[in-house]
Structure 1
Amino acid sequence: MYHTIVIGGGPSGLMAAISASESGKSVLLIDKKDKLGRKLQISGGGRCNVTNRVSHEELIAHLPGNGKFLYSAFNTFDNFSIIAYFEQLGVALKEENHGRMFPVSDNAKDVVNALKTKLEENNVEVRTNNKVASLYIEDTIKGVIMDDDTIIQSENVIIATGGKSVPHTGSTGDGYVFAEQVGHTITELFPTEVPITSSEPFIKSKTLQGLSLRNVALSVLRKNGKPRITHQMDMIFTHFGISGPAALRCSQFVYKEQKSQKKQDITMMVDCFPDETIGVVKNRIIKQIESNKDKAIKNSLKGVISERYLLFLFEQAGLNPEHNGHHLKKESVDLFCELLKGFKFKVNGTQSIEKAFVTGGGVSVKEIVPATMQSKLHDNLYFCGEVLDIHGYTGGYNITSALVTGYVAGLNCR
């Protein structure tokens, strides 16, 4: 008989097990894979962006999937607590752009090892390569049943199994099955932070494959042509569509907009000069052409944007790149400038949830006590991490949510 069983050895499970064991309570951490913290170890390109040194408001803004649910938990443990916690564990952190916090060593293993050391200090029993088959129920939840039918009893169970993204780390949706077993609602699951697909001819022909655009504004447009969301970041054209930070952040809105438009293709738009008006852009382009009238426009406008994209937009606008400033139609130049500020193209969806960085949807937060992560249906059941219907953008926001909900869940096990 354990005081608490934690199912799942990812960021939220590790933190939950540590937190639950702080006052000497007996805790068992079970993970079906051979190593703990697999997702932490590959996060941030192997550097592990543990959190962000930003205000709660900014943090919530970067968690578009029910981020406000975390406000109560932040009263107990927040992003600043995470920073202090890892410093206390001996993991020195450094701040990079947008408040992102990384270990000074740039090595995610240092984060994982520090948490594993803390588990040992707190005498948490760890069982890897062990798979939970279901919750053990006799009137109430009394533990777990393993794959080999072994019953392990406990006073509390914390489900920290992750979502369905990056399945090789062990996130294959087990927690949703356990949650449904005891009456919890699972909201619709969908991929977020995932590349976007398109069947546009220029994508199929690989015209722009591998081309990166820096600091552009990428928008998902509604049916009325107005932006549903815009993200100003880098993006890249691929052989199947688009990827890169801006595309990943837009992906969940492609899914949602497609759902609202009954699976139709969605229009997206790229603005190469998001900080300038169309008038300013047009004046600059015309001035450059006028100042170099004898030059071919591919030369007079060289450096305005990436050469491949420049030539692509010339073609879209019906401009011959070899023509000089004496032979250009005003209508074509105007169209070219409009394309610089808003090239529109169709997308037909996103890659699968297994290829996503983050899972959207999960255990309904309406059925969870926000201050404790306790189930509203069962007093001794808790949820934390990506199994919950909470999701954010990449850049440390999902790990922050996982660590916060994990700590709070473990702390509140009675």
Structure 2
Amino acid sequence: MSKNYDLIVVGAGAAGMIAAIRAARNGKKVLLLEKLSQIAAKLRATGGGRCNLTNTLSNEEFMAKFGRDGRFMQDALNRFNHKNLIEFFKEIGVETHAPDGFRVFPTSHSSATIISALQDEMQRVKIDVLCSQKVEKLLSEDNRVSGVQTSTDTFFSSNVIIATGGLGYPVLGAEGDGYSLAHELGHKTTELHPAMMPLKTKEEWVGNCRADTIAKAELRVDIKKHKKLKASGDLIFTKSGIRGPVVLDFAREITPLISKYGEVPILVNLTKGMNEEQITKHLKDEVLKNPDATMKELVSTLLPEALSLELCKLTLPDPDAKLKSIPGLSRAKLINYLAWTPLTVTGHDGFKMAMITRGGIVLKEIDPKTMQSKIIDGLYFCGEVMNLDGPCGGYNLQWSFASGHLAGSLKK
């Protein structure tokens, strides 16, 4: 096997594989290095193995979901948005669809289909793929990349792409290698936090409500400086806290605040957006239908039984009393809790349970038109290693593919 290449890609995940394919299709001689014994370990687990590749949002709407740094993606998305990605997979034999009109999956709903097609294409365009090769050092001369040193060998190239991902799911190979490789050549990273993960709460009553999914819950941070932070979606209570799609999305906002404040008070609307006035009217209407109903039974017309009982126990002297016999203050407290249930997020399981990383290589040090380093020539970045992360729903994979495609379009 040759030691000299036009391009070396470090990391065989979604971003790295598409970068390698893009470069090889342009006639470049490409080496793809993966430290694990097989490629695409994290991609295999994506979306519970169903592989939510992208979504159908416009580029503008898509970028907005990444917050203030989302504009950094513009050049990459203009060249390779969800339509281009769908077309690319069709070219290599993978049919896709969007059953809910938003999230795009392979029609097989299996990540194995995606990985197999990418492997076949890498073979077709003659990319050299080496697994069990951990890159330990980037080589450079005269302010330009010149190659990489692995645990067993040295390979040479004037172009290197770092596609090593973040720190999430270390069991799938994430160790933050890309950060330390980039640091050695002068790049900086932002603070790194785990994201897209379940959260733990101080309140123990949540453990009694595990049987039900609460649809259309809304979460918001109850800290004056961070009142604008909110998210909505399906919520599930766990033995020690909360999870579900809305929590996975919101965790990326919460974990930095836990680092800062130690614990984070949040408010949760569990009644599909109903406010105090609407809840009061609903309960009164239910009493008219059933004058003998207990408070617990009345609340159960809004929420699952176990959750109704817990909220009644938290706010009322007797959950089995009737509405008219409940003191005004207790009744007001219950209605407040039904509109906005207070919870206190105290922690999480760290990077071992995080699907993605919040933070990464500082974007100001990367040219968004090429993904090339502004500090050292020939060094490129793509995917999660950079300081960009999005919510659930195909955002992070689309960004990996788009940035990988752009990084692999190198001219030299």
Measured after TM superposition, the shift of residue 108 of structure 1 is: 0.9
1:5 to 4, 8, 13: 8
Q: What amino acid is aligned across from residue 292 of structure 2 in structure 1?
A: D
Q: Post-superposition shift, 1:335?
A: 2.0
Tell whether the 8 Å contact from 2:295 to 2:312 is kept in structure 1 after alignment.
Answer: no
- Structure 1 distance, partners of 2:389, 2:324, is 54
The equivalent residue for 2:286 is: 288
- Residues 165 and 191, structure 1, Cα contact 8 Å, conserved in 2: yes
What secondary structure is seen at the aligned counterpart in 2 of 1:21? helix
3-state SS of paired residue (1:304): coil
Distance in 2 of aligned mates of 1:372 and 1:297: 62
Cα contact 1:216–1:270 (8 A) shared by 2: yes
Tell me if the contact between 2:316 and 2:326 (Cα under 8 Å) persists in the aligned partners.
no
Aligned counterpart for 1:391 among listed residues 380, 389, 392: 389
Q: Name the % identity.
A: 32
Aligned mates of 1:199, 1:122 — CA distance in 2: 54
Task: Measure how far apart 1:207 and its partner are.
Answer: 3.0
- 2:149 aligned with 1:145: yes
Task: State the Cα distance separating 1:264 from its structure 2 match.
Answer: 3.5
Residue 84 of structure 1 pairs with residue 82 of structure 2: no
CA distance in 2, matches of 1:78, 1:16: 15
What TM-score do you get using the length of structure 1 for normalisation?
0.94
Task: Identify the residue that residue 360 of structure 1 maps to in structure 2.
Answer: 358
User: Matches of 2:324 and 2:279 in 1, distance apart?
Assistant: 20
**2:137 aligned residue:** 134
Given that 1:192 and 1:356 are in contact with CA atoms closer than 8 Å, whether structure 2 keeps it comes out as yes
Post-superposition shift, 1:83?
1.2
CA contact (8 A) 1:20 1:413 kept: no
Q: Which residue of 2 aligns with 1:174?
A: 177
Task: Pick which of 212-221 and 153-162 moved more.
Answer: 212-221
- Partner secondary structure for residue 362 of structure 1: coil
Deviation at 1:28, TM superposition (A): 0.3
Alignment of 1:223-262 (within 5 A): 223=224, 227-259=227-259, 262=260
Does residue 1:330 correspond to 2:328, yes or no? yes
Structure 2 counterpart of 1:146, one-letter code: T
SS in 1 for 2:274: coil
CA distance in 2, matches of 1:182, 1:333: 63
Match of 2:37 in 1: 34
1:107 and 1:21 mapped to 2: Cα distance? Answer: 26
Output one character per residue of 1:323-367: Cα deviation in whole Å (capped at 9) or x when no partner.
Answer: 234423333223222111101121123320232010111111110
Distance 2:304 2:83 in 1: 40
Ranges in structure 1 where 5+ consecutive residues have no aligned partner: none
Deviation at 1:75, TM superposition (A): 2.0
Q: CA–CA distance in 2 between the matches of 1:218 and 1:96?
A: 27
RMSD: 1.8
Q: CA deviation at 1:295?
A: 2.8
Q: Which residue of 2 aligns with 1:43?
A: 46
Give per-residue Cα distances to partners, 1:241-282, cap 9 Å, x unaligned: 2111111111122223345xx424211111123433321221
Count of aligned residue pairs for this structure pair: 408
SS at match of 1:228: coil
Q: Which amino acid aligns with 2:34?
A: D
Contact 1:294 1:326 in 2 (8 A): no
Indicate conservation of the 8 Å contact 1:221/1:269, yes or no: yes
Greater alpha carbon shift after TM alignment, 328-337 vs 103-112: 328-337
Q: In the alignment, what sits opposite 1:121? A: 124
Q: How does 1:393-412 map to 2 (within 5 A)?
A: 393-412=391-410
Equivalent-residue separation in structure 1 for 2:65 and 2:9 (angstroms): 27
Q: 1:197 to 1:66 in 2, by over 3 A?
A: same
Change (3 A) 1:267 1:294: same
Which AA in structure 2 matches 1:230? K
The two structures have a TM-score, normalised by structure 2, of 0.94
Residue 297 (structure 2) aligns with: 299
Q: Is the 8 A contact 1:4 1:157 kept in 2?
A: yes
Name the SS for the 2:36 alignment partner.
coil
Report deviation, 1:135: 0.7
Change (3 A) 1:107 1:232: same
SS at match of 2:21: helix
Matched, 1:195 2:198: yes
Question: Residue 7 of structure 2 contacts residue 160 of structure 2 at CA under 8 Å; is this kept in 1?
Answer: yes
Check conservation: 1:144, 1:152, Cα contact below 8 A.
Answer: yes
Q: Which stretches of structure 1, 4 residues or more, deviate above 6 A after TM superposition? A: none
SS at match of 1:281: helix
Contact 1:254 1:350 (C-alpha < 8 Å) held by counterparts: no
Aligned partner of residue 79 in structure 2, secondary structure: coil
Task: Tell me whether 214-223 or 318-327 shows the greater mean CA deviation.
Answer: 318-327
Aligned to 1:263: 261
Worse-superposed segment, 307-316 or 134-143? 134-143
